[in-house]
Amino acid sequence: MVHVPVLQKEVLEYLNPKPIENFIDCTIGEGGHALSILEKIFPKGKLFGIDWSPELVKSLKLKVQNSKICKRVILFCDNFANLKEIIKRENFGPVSGILFDLGLSSWHLEKSKRGFSFLRDELLDMRYHENSKFKMQNAKLTAEKIVNDWPQTKIENILRDYGEERFAKRIAKKIVETRKIKPMIKKTFQLVELIKKAVPGWYLHQKRHFATKTFQALRIAVNQELKNLERALPQALEILKPGGRLVIISFHSLEDRIVKNLFRIGAKKNFLKILTKKPITPSQRETEINPRSRSAKLRAAIKL
């Protein structure tokens, strides 16, 4: 499946990129948003792209190496939680706009073989990276370690808090019961099967797959996604020049709450002007074309 950038028209509208301006895409992934921004900032504007998955950075470098935009895009593999340090080290600026698209890319689900998808039988890894060089706390934590080693209450808490899973207690209990019988829960289909046994029958026939929230919760816990976002956003505001724009697409209520609170505080202290009174969501047509966009929320602000 080809990666479809979410809310692409809206991203361009709120970032409002112009020729000669410089931008940062903190989650460049497969380059969907970045390439459309580069078109708008032609001929001299530059784009700095960050991604935590080295495979995506390598693939995008190959994609652009012989193109006319090659000299106008800088690609860097790291966690956006280190944003300020990266940009300072690379001496990139001034920065007119910063984009965060917090969604999981199609590559992670379809090709990474790291257990992000409940539709593929893969090892329960769920790390965006497999390299401990990033100096992140718990860099070696995997979904397999959580389901096999963590206590029931801790598993229940992440399923409820990060996945908003209504049957968190039942699923956590089933995980702990299963690992007493089987030596290790190592693969995605094993986890899917025990979730299936833990939840009521009617829950198996909902519009959303019954394992979605559990997999989401494990992924967020493994990659410390909420902590990283909380670290990155103040850095982004610091890096932006006055009049610069910050655009964030979130896919989870807790992510959206972090963004909303930051914007509210910024507006109250008069260093931000909020451009989106309510979050922008995809049109019905977009969700039909790209069902993964259905939970997307875009918020935007200008640094004063």
Residues 103, 170 within the same domain: no
Domain contains 133 = no
Domain contains 115 = no
Domain contains 113 = no
Residue ending a domain, choose from 159, 191, 223: 223
How high is the pLDDT of residue 236?
Answer: 98
How high is the pLDDT of residue 2?
Answer: 46
How high is the pLDDT of residue 45?
Answer: 93
Residues 148, 217 within the same domain: yes
How high is the pLDDT of residue 63?
Answer: 83
Residues 103, 229 within the same domain: yes
Rounded CA gap, 81 and 134, in Å? Answer: 10
Specify the number of domains making up the chain: 2
The whole domain housing 149 covers 138-223
Domain contains 265 = yes
Rounded CA gap, 254 and 18, in Å? Answer: 32
Domain contains 256 = yes
The secondary structure of residue 104, as a DSSP letter, is P
Mean pLDDT by 10 residues, the chain (304 residues): 76 96 94 91 93 90 79 92 95 96 86 93 92 56 96 98 96 95 91 97 94 96 95 97 97 95 96 96 91 91 98
CATH code of 75's domain: 3.40.50.150
CA atoms within 13 A on the CB side of 176: 13
Residues 207, 255 within the same domain: no
Domain contains 3 = no
Residues 204, 254 within the same domain: no
How high is the pLDDT of residue 130?
Answer: 72
Residue ending a domain, choose from 202, 223, 244: 223
How high is the pLDDT of residue 132?
Answer: 46
The secondary structure of residue 230, as a DSSP letter, is H
Q: Where are the alpha helices (DSSP H) in 103-151?
A: 106-110, 143-149
Domain contains 117 = no
Residues 159, 298 within the same domain: no
Residues 209, 161 within the same domain: yes
Residues 91, 19 within the same domain: yes
Looking up tokens 């990033």 gives 134
3-state secondary structure of 30: coil
What six digits make up the tokens of 212? 């979605």
Residues 42, 102 within the same domain: yes
How high is the pLDDT of residue 188?
Answer: 97
Residues 218, 232 within the same domain: no
Residues 94, 20 within the same domain: yes
Residue 107 contacts residue 2 (beta carbons within 8 Å): no
Residue ending a domain, choose from 180, 201, 223: 223
Rounded CA gap, 111 and 130, in Å? Answer: 15
Residues 98, 16 within the same domain: yes
Domain contains 162 = yes
Burial classification of residue 247, based on how many CB atoms lie within 10 Å of its CB (0-12 exposed, 13-18 middle, 19 or more buried):
buried
